[in-house]
């Protein structure tokens, strides 16, 4: 039999692969991707180095920014301190300027009064012989009146009461001797007896013969018979305290007044604020005197009270608060007038009696026809009573004088409206107070 021969395997290069077109496309794509990956792998070390360099640069910039922020903060703090110091210095300078201006106005007022006194003195020294005789008789009448009417009480001090003459007459009583300085330019009826007011201290008593109310004596009479008789004022009648000329009617602090009243009166006695304000002060003095200068245990309600007033009276007694050295006194400039007026109206409205109340639209006290019977919120007297309202009115008025604005007339009218409203309510509560004191002298709400 013939031997069968096993065929050999074909050589590898002769093997044919049967690939479709899709397989060829996939292969081509994979080869391209591999090529891209190789290129990226070759560039990676360079990118890593650049990234590290950028990180270093960023860190350096952050340090520089931090340093600059620190320097800017330091400069801003220094600038704030400089500006604050400059503002404080400017404020002190303005305060000093305002105080100097006020003092200058006071000095000018005193100078004007001195000039007027000098003119009166020259007129007195040019009198005729008949005038000199009348002057001598006047001196004798005054001496006799003082000898007759001296009443040694009020802790051993002299108390004299009267009202007489057209010009003030001063007398000093020291060591039991009477020294008089008469300054008058009108004739006196010898049948009249002069009334004399006084201020008392333990060492010296200054007596001042005050002029009668305006219109009771003719100006420039030719003889003593031409002078009409004037009546003496009551303790509640304070119409003679002020006139068109503040110097023509000196006010003498009564010995019955408490220690807080004299510094309060001197603080409120600002003639430059005009007649409505001075009449309001005059009315307040009469109200305090009408009930024997009694003080209530409670002061004016503190709800909505201006913070400037609370700061001013806080920590000071009823005398020291009026001193010029009180550092808590606000700066009374034009800006203060604008802001403070709203605070005063708000406080005044909040302390109205229940029968009056406040208009919700205007936030001002409502108008009314008749006084009510309840006055608890306004029946407050003494160093923490009505005098605090007058202090607010004074601050308001003084600050208005520093204001240079086109609306100054309207703002002054608003100030005078507040004075008129407070004056009206002061009249009502004074009548109520007098009736209460007369009805019960041992009122538990008073401090005797």
Q: Is the pLDDT of residue 150 over 70?
A: no
**Cβ distance 255 to 153 under 8 Å?**
no
Q: What is the pLDDT of residue 94?
A: 86
State the Cα–Cα distance between residues 238 and 240, nearest whole angstrom. 5
Strand partners, 206: 172, 199
Q: How confident is the model at residue 138 (pLDDT cuts 50, 70, 90)?
A: very low
Q: In angstroms, what CA-CA distances link 412 with 241, 396, 398?
A: 24, 9, 11
Q: In angstroms, what CA-CA distances link 15 with 10, 12, 93, 200, 336?
A: 7, 5, 112, 145, 111
State the Cα–Cα distance between residues 293 and 288, nearest whole angstrom. 5
Q: What is the pLDDT of residue 432?
A: 93
Q: What is the pLDDT of residue 343?
A: 93
Q: What is the pTM of this model?
A: 0.48
Mean pLDDT of 41-51: 78
Structure tokens at 370: 């008749």
Q: Is the pLDDT of residue 19 over 90?
A: no
State the Cα–Cα distance between residues 162 and 198, nearest whole angstrom. 10
Mean pLDDT of 112-124: 81
Q: How confident is the model at residue 245 (pLDDT cuts 50, 70, 90)?
A: very low
Contacts by 424-430 with C-beta closer than 8 Å and gap 24+?
425/352, 425/378, 426/280, 426/283, 426/284, 426/287, 426/386, 427/283, 428/371, 428/375, 429/287, 429/375, 429/378, 429/379, 430/286, 430/287, 430/290
Q: What is the pLDDT of residue 146?
A: 43
Q: Is the pLDDT of residue 133 over 50?
A: no
Q: Is the pLDDT of residue 444 over 70?
A: no
Higher pLDDT, 11 or 49: 49
State the Cα–Cα distance between residues 32 and 22, nearest whole angstrom. 16
**Cβ distance 366 to 436 under 8 Å?**
no
Q: What is the pLDDT of residue 363?
A: 79
Q: What is the pLDDT of residue 398?
A: 94
**Cβ distance 336 to 330 under 8 Å?**
yes
Eight-class DSSP state of 359: -
Could you tell me which of 383, 395, 295 has the C-alpha nearest to residue 344? Answer: 395
Higher pLDDT, 232 or 59: 59
Q: Is the pLDDT of residue 166 over 80?
A: no
Share of the chain above pLDDT 90, in %: 27
**Cβ distance 183 to 169 under 8 Å?**
yes
State the Cα–Cα distance between residues 89 and 83, nearest whole angstrom. 10
Q: Is the pLDDT of residue 415 over 50?
A: yes
**Cβ distance 431 to 286 under 8 Å?**
no
**Going by DSSP bridges, is the β-strand pair 169-174/151-153 parallel, antiparallel, or unpaired?**
unpaired
Q: How confident is the model at residue 263 (pLDDT cuts 50, 70, 90)?
A: very high
Q: What is the pLDDT of residue 381?
A: 94
Mean pLDDT of 312-318: 82
Highest mean pLDDT among 3-12, 125-134, 149-158, 414-423 belongs to 414-423
**Cβ distance 394 to 277 under 8 Å?**
yes
Mean pLDDT of 326-349: 91
Higher pLDDT, 220 or 6: 6
Counting DSSP H helices and E strands in the chain, the numbers are 8, 8
pLDDT in tens, 344-372: 999 999 999 999 988 888 778 999 889 99
Q: What angle do CA 300, 302, 307 make, to 5 degrees?
A: 120
Q: How confident is the model at residue 52 (pLDDT cuts 50, 70, 90)?
A: confident
Q: What is the DSSP string of 103-166?
A: HHHHHHHHHHHHHHHHHHHHHHHT--HHHHHHHHHHHHHHHHHHHHH-EEETTTEEE------S
Strand partners, 169: 209
State the Cα–Cα distance between residues 241 and 169, nearest whole angstrom. 16
Q: What is the pLDDT of residue 243?
A: 36
């Amino acid at each position: 039999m013939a031997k069968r021969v096993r065929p050999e395997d074909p050589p590898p290069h002769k093997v044919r692969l049967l690939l479709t077109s899709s397989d060829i496309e996939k292969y081509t794509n994979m080869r391209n991707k591999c090529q891209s990956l190789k290129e990226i792998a070759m560039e990676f070390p360079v990118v890593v180095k650049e990234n590290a360099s950028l990180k270093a640069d960023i860190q350096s910039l952050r340090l520089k920014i931090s340093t600059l922020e620190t320097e800017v903060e330091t400069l801003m703090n220094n600038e704030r301190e400089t500006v604050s110091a400059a503002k404080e210095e400017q404020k002190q300078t303005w305060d000093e300027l305002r105080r100097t201006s006020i003092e200058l106005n006071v000095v000018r007022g005193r100078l004007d009064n001195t000039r007027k006194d000098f003119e009166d003195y020259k007129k007195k020294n040019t009198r005729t012989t008949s005038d000199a005789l009348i002057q001598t008789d006047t001196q004798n009448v005054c001496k006799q009146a003082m000898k007759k009417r001296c009443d040694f009480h009020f802790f051993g001090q002299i108390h004299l009461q009267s009202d007489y003459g057209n010009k003030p007459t001063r007398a000093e009583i020291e060591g039991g001797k009477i020294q008089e300085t008469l300054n008058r330019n009108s004739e006196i009826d010898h049948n009249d007896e002069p009334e004399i007011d006084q201020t008392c201290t333990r060492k010296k008593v200054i007596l001042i013969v005050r002029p009668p109310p305006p219109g009771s004596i003719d100006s420039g009479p030719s003889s003593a018979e031409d002078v009409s008789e004037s009546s003496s004022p009551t303790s509640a009648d304070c119409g003679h305290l002020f006139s068109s000329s503040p110097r023509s009617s000196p006010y003498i602090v009564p010995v019955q007044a408490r220690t807080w009243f004299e510094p309060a009166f001197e603080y409120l006695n600002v003639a430059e604020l005009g007649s409505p304000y001075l009449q309001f002060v005059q009315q307040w003095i009469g109200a305090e005197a009408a009930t024997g200068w009694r003080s209530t245990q409670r002061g004016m309600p503190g709800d909505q009270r201006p913070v400037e007033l609370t700061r001013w009276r806080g920590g000071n007694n009823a005398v020291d608060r009026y001193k010029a050295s009180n550092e808590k006194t606000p700066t009374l400039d034009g800006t203060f007038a604008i802001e403070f007026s709203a605070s005063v109206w708000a406080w005044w409205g909040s302390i109205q009696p229940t029968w009056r109340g406040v208009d919700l639209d205007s936030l001002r006290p409502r108008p009314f026809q008749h006084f009510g019977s309840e006055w608890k919120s306004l029946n407050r007297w003494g160093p923490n009573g009505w005098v605090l309202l007058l202090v607010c009115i004074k601050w308001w008025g003084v600050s208005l004088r520093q204001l240079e604005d086109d609306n100054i007339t309207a703002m002054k009218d608003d100030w005078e409206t507040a004075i008129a409203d407070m004056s009206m309510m002061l009249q009502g509560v004074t009548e109520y107070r007098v009736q209460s004191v007369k009805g019960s002298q041992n009122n538990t709400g008073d401090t005797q």
